[in-house]
Amino acid sequence: MSHAYPLHVYVSRYTKEALLNIVGLHHNTHEPFNTLFEQVASLPYSLLLDTSGSLKSDGRYNIMAFSPVSVIEAKGDEVTLVDVSTSKREALLQRPFEAVEQHLHSQLNNVVINADADFDTSHLPFIVGVAGMAGYDTGRFYEALPSVAKDDYAMPDFTVGLYLRSLIEDTQTGHIYYCSVDKAPLTSFFAAPDSSKKVATDTVPSDFKLTTPFTSNLSKHEYKKSLATIGGYLRAGDCYQVNMAQRFTASYEGNIWQAYCELRNQNQAPFSAYFNLPDGCIASISPERFLRVKDGIVETKPIKGTRPRFKNPLKDKASADSLLSAEKDRSENLMIVDLLRNDISKHCKPHSVKVPALFALESYEAVHHLVSTITGELNETASPLELLAAAFPGGSITGAPKIRAMEVIDELEPHRRNIYCGSVFYMGYRKDMDSSICIRTVLAENNRLHCWAGGGIVLDSVPSEEYQETLDKVSKILPVLESINQ
């Protein structure tokens, strides 16, 4: 299912000032790119990939994609192709990533870029392509896993669209690029708030606020009891590391976009994302890259090892130093480095997989992290989506060996994870790909918010410390959400 004729994509470049003039927004608009996205945020399948002002992990480009032509959706054991304009649904036999490759990305085999003026587009990510989310339980399409944990979500396990329209912000130059296949004017989608041309729902969502406090699906006692069970498996040699999480849930009302903006401003995470779906919404402020493929080079950056941040500079440095010197955290990190080296080797050239950075410190608003970097050269016969499927879900949020760790997770966590520890990703028409691990992520559906936190459990883990680490990880999420409009 590919285009026999060239697919022409038209790219226009604007300064922020020129773009704001075209759509009639004030020049003093704070975060103009996000202000533009707000006008399409309520449309089904609108997606924002947001560096949140962070320069970590080569953060440079912000991408918004909206109005997809078609979507691949998966839930349970069913995979469906959705025609967005007609709502026609077709059941497919392929697994999710393969369905995206065959039914969506194959339509981009003959793209021709037409720039409005003589400017370079080769440095831009995406332009047009496939993008969306693969929840943790997408892994069930690729591995035989038990079904103990409760699936109480309306949200699909997997939703990826074919986007032939995007806006891309280069935060280094300040330019914003509008990419489309039909030359539809920007004012068809974006206009001043009082304009009749604005595309939005008929009613403006009310202000966001929680209507109940957050509660966990595991008490402290139950969480520590689960760690004791994992300890038994570890001592028996059944596995070496298991990532155990708890889920926090609260009721809410109002505008999730408002909540996302507050979270991204306070966390400045380089892999932040907002994805509006018919059944709910994902607001992610993830600091973690899963897999990137650029010019044939594969990169993955697993996070393993966490310490809290402190306002006092001396205490904060002591916390970072304790992480850098902690044998437990280094051994946790090394286990996942080995797992990911094996995962990406399946689709990389022989002897090309390297570890250029081991146990590096990265500091975020709430916590310090220990991060390693693994690279490789993608086989010329392999697709980045094949690589993603083979490595999914990420080893940093499962454990080792991966399949046995996932079995233990399903046994001990009361509910399935859905988007938590899944991925938000894109692959452009040139097969450039980037993806996150969806930690520090909020799922909103049916007027309920879910947010998770977990950690890698190894033989010398201390249960009380592991429990506290989960709370540290959401210390810039739950309190922020609780404070909005209260």
Strand pairing category for 111-115 and 7-14: parallel
- Between helices 220-235 and 402-412, what is the axis angle to 10°? 150
Return the ∠ at Cα 31 (arms to 26 and 32), rounded to 5°. 45
For 57, phi then psi, to 5°, come to: 55, 40
How far is CA 375 from each of CA 23, 351, 362, 389, rounded to the nearest angstrom? 42, 11, 18, 17
The C-alpha atoms of residue 218 and residue 422 are separated, in whole angstroms, by 21
Q: Catalytic pick from 98, 101, 288, 413?
A: 288
Q: Catalytic pick from 56, 75, 301, 304?
A: 304
Contact 322, 307 (CB under 8 A): yes
The C-alpha atoms of residue 396 and residue 412 are separated, in whole angstroms, by 18
Contact 354, 374 (CB under 8 A): yes
Residue 57: which region, alpha, beta or left (left: phi > 0; alpha: psi -120 to 50)?
left
The C-alpha atoms of residue 219 and residue 80 are separated, in whole angstroms, by 38
Contact 397, 306 (CB under 8 A): no
Q: For residue 318, give the 3-state DSSP assignment.
A: helix
- Our answer to whether residue 304 is catalytic in this structure is yes
The C-alpha atoms of residue 197 and residue 192 are separated, in whole angstroms, by 8
Contact 370, 303 (CB under 8 A): yes
Residue 132, strand partner residues: 160, 425
The C-alpha atoms of residue 348 and residue 81 are separated, in whole angstroms, by 30
Tell which residue, 169, 90, 109, 165, has the closest CA to residue 430: 109
Q: Which residues are catalytic?
A: 288, 304
